[in-house]
């Protein structure tokens, strides 16, 4: 008899039916894709970054396609905390799928304030602390490139919530393991990596950078081999779950991350190319487990 493989995984107190999450920043608030895929078949949804106050983000042009990926410099544009609670949470609370809120701030206090306020909403399953965005002037990557600041931000969030806490790490560091260890020591239940790589492109006709901010974040299939290496480095040292991301386009890509040590994965840029990428990755992982006669991802 053909046994259905067990795709479930655990991240902190978070039980996921499968290891495939939709990454923050490329999936909106889930509702935008609700007419295209069955959201409840996903392992989890990580919503677009939420800040305390509305943020306009950077001025255009702020997206540029490059070979094997894309550059973006959105700058965490969003309508702010209260708008998210009033306008976005009602849809999310009706879903039978874990909702993870990506939180971002320019000060330690803002991260803590976000956690305090969002902690009141039972339908929010976890927080993903964004200390890795390369496209903001204050906070973000400034906290994520210094172990002491990483530890401080994470500790302040963990002090005010019992929800699962994930820390999203930047690849733009000399030693990502040290940052991951600082997040773990601050109380983070897991880490997710990698966010985008700081990069730039030039318009040779105009002889100037294509993005208004000069540099932006590089994502897409072109970063996958570096992301897999960094996930392997962290997973082999950390002792808490690692969520891998960076250029996942199919099930084989996701499996690379998991064989490297990731407990779960997130899919980002490829959602723009094909909105059903997440569904295909889930079915592809299940097919692989059947073929390899692997009963559970927990083994």
Domain coordinates of the chain in residue numbers?
9-56+75-196+219-291
Sequence-ordered list of residues with C-beta below 8 angstroms from that of 62, at least 6 positions apart, any chain: 72, 73, 74, 75, 211, 212, 213, 216
* 133 labelled catalytic: yes
Could you give the CA distance from residue 245 to residue 193 in angstroms, rounded to a whole number? 6
Dihedral, 254, 165, 27, 265 alpha carbons, nearest 10: 0
Which residue out of 11, 76, 133, 180 is catalytically annotated? 133
How much is the mean pLDDT over the chain? 96
Give the confidence band of 299 by pLDDT, cuts at 50, 70, 90: low
pTM above 0.75, yes or no: yes
pLDDT at 139: 61
Q: Is residue 255 pLDDT above 70, yes or no?
A: yes
CATH architecture assigned to 9-56+75-196+219-291: Alpha-Beta Barrel (3.20)
* Per-residue pLDDT tens over the stretch 157-204: 999 999 999 999 999 999 999 999 999 999 999 999 999 999 999 999
Q: Summarize pLDDT for 60-90 with one digit per residue, the tens.
A: 999 999 999 999 999 999 999 999 999 999 9
**261 vs 136: which has the higher pLDDT:** 261
Distance, CA of 276 to CA of 295 (rounded, Å): 25
pLDDT, tens digit (0-9, with 9 covering 90-100), for 114-168: 999 999 999 999 999 999 877 676 666 689 999 999 999 999 999 999 999 999 9
pLDDT at 2: 65
């Amino acid at each position: 008899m053909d046994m259905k493989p067990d795709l479930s995984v655990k991240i902190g107190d978070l039980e996921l039916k499968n290891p495939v999450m939709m990454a923050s920043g490329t999936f909106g608030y889930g509702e935008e894709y609700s007419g295209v895929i069955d959201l409840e078949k996903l392992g989890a949804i990580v919503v677009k970054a939420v800040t305390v106050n509305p943020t306009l983000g950077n001025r255009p042009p702020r997206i540029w396609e490059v070979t094997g990926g894309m550059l973006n410099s959105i700058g965490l544009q969003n309508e702010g905390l209260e708008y998210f609670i009033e306008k976005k949470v009602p849809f999310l609370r009706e879903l039978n799928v874990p909702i993870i809120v990506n939180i971002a701030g320019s000060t330690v206090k803002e991260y803590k304030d976000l956690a305090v306020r969002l902690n009141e909403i039972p339908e929010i399953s976890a927080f993903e602390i964004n200390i890795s965005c390369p496209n903001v002037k204050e906070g973000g990557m400034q906290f994520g490139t210094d172990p002491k600041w990483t530890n401080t931000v994470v500790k302040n969030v963990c002090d005010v919530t019992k929800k699962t806490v994930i820390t999203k790490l930047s690849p733009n560091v000399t030693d990502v393991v040290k940052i991951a260890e600082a997040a773990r020591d601050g109380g983070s239940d897991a880490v997710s990596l990698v966010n985008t790589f700081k990069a730039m492109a030039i318009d040779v006709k105009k002889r100037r950078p294509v993005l208004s901010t000069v540099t932006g974040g590089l994502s897409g299939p072109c970063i996958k081999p570096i992301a897999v290496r960094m996930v392997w480095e962290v997973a082999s040292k950390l002792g808490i779950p690692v969520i891998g991301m960076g250029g996942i386009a199919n099930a084989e890509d996701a499996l690379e991350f998991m064989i490297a040590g990731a407990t779960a994965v997130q899919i980002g840029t490829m959602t723009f190319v094909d909105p059903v990428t997440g569904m295909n990755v889930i079915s592809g992982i299940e097919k692989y487990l059947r073929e390899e006669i692997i009963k559970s991802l927990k083994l």
